[in-house]
Amino acid sequence: MKKILLLLSTLLVTITGTASEKQIGLEKIPSSANWIAHLDFEAFRSSEIGAFVLQDILKAPHIEQKMTGLKNAFGVDIDQLGFVTAYGSGEKNVGVVYAQGGFNTKQLEGFASLNEKVEIKTVNGQKIYSAPKVAFSPLGPDSMIAATNEELLKAGLNARLGNNTKQKENPILDHLNELVKRPIVTITAQIPKVRKMEKPGRSISATEQAIMEKLDWAGVALGESGASIRIACVMNTENIETAEHMENVLRGVSSLLSLSTEIEPLFQNDPKLNKIIPHIKTSVSRKSQIVGMQLEMDTAFLLEMFEEEMAKKRNVKENSSIQE
């Protein structure tokens, strides 16, 4: 049972391994992208979890002073951040980021202009700022696109202007949006290609390897739904037969999780997991070759867990200060 839970975690790590336009706009992402990540800051701030985390962050010493410094120096206003969409081709440390809201691009341009290592040019009427490891271009008073090199930035600009091949419809994203209505975070990836981003020497079990080889696109979304936190994991398998097998595996996991009092002895070395498992509600769905698993947990319980962990950290820090 624990191995299966770890496998789900491994899948999530492999994927990350990163309407208005608050939803992912596939029409503005090039077809070469095989991983896409989207973070909606407005949804985060308006969620109970987000409000709690931000409130705790503001308790840190001098944090308001640091935020003011960030705004004055770089034109970045944390309180006004809207959303960020990032994507790439699976090559390690290479990607494109589009951000809207919370950026004073005129101020950012002024800061970049003072750096002698930054080259400034205009391409097809679009101003580009290029440094050895990053390039960016303003797209409006509070929006910008950046990339790890100038060529990627140009491709990203072309995609936003509709001048190159666009992403096809992504059934994984459609399924995730059905399961999580207003996601805070959405990540999708084409597993065979994105695995190139894994660290050399990282080993996985034969079971994990077998499952990875039968997946095409996969994705995860997290958001609040009423009084609950909802996480949806979705996988697009190579054929319907594999999808049926995966559905059976996930339904087995779901059944075991529902028997939390029976499962508890399996996690006697992990008290945190013992405490969490009984509060997780699961469901499994399948549409043709797409299989999904949804996990839901009461927000109040999760906040209670967060508060306990933060209190422990504060106690450790206070005791450390006393000893010094």
For the entire predicted model, the pTM comes to 0.80
Number of Cβ atoms within 10 Å of the Cβ of 68: 11
Query: pLDDT by residue (tens digit) across 114-150?
Result: 888 999 999 888 999 999 889 999 999 999 999 999 9
Beta bridge partners, 137, equal 145
**Structure confidence at residue 320 (pLDDT):** 65
- Give pLDDT tens digits for 253-304: 888 777 765 655 556 667 777 778 888 889 999 999 999 999 999 999 888 8
Residue 321 lies in a domain: no
Q: How many structural domains does the chain have?
A: 1
Structure tokens at 277: 């498992």
Burial environment of residue 85 by CB neighbours within 10 A (0 to 12, 13 to 18, 19 or more): buried
Q: Examine residue 319 and state whether it is found in any structural domain, yes or no.
A: no
Query: Domain residues for 67?
Result: 2-309
260 occurs within a structural domain = yes
320 falls within a domain: no
Name the average pLDDT for the chain: 81
**Are residues 291 and 11 in contact, defined by beta-carbon separation less than 8 angstroms?**
no
Q: Is residue 314 part of a domain?
A: no
In a domain, 84, yes or no: yes
pLDDT digits (tens, 9 = 90+) for 192-243: 777 766 666 666 777 777 777 778 889 999 999 888 999 999 999 988 999 9
Average confidence (pLDDT) over 246-251: 91
Question: pLDDT digits over 66-86, tens only?
Answer: 888 888 888 888 888 999 999
Residue 212 structure tokens: 């990875």
Specify the pLDDT at position 229. 92
Give buried/exposed letters for 209-236 (b at 16+ CB in 10 A, else e): eebbebbbbbbbbbbbeeebbbbbbbbb
DSSP, collapsed to helix, strand or coil, labels residue 11 as helix
pLDDT surpassing 70 at residue 321? no
Q: Are 86 and 146 in contact (CB under 8 A)?
A: no
pLDDT of residue 9 exceeding 60 = no
Residue 316 covered by a domain: no
Question: Percent of the chain beyond pLDDT 70?
Answer: 82
- Specify the residue for token string 């931000």: 54
Mean pLDDT of 15-33: 61
In a domain, 318, yes or no: no
Q: Are strands 143-147 and 183-190 parallel, antiparallel or unpaired?
A: unpaired
What is the structure's pLDDT at 221? 95
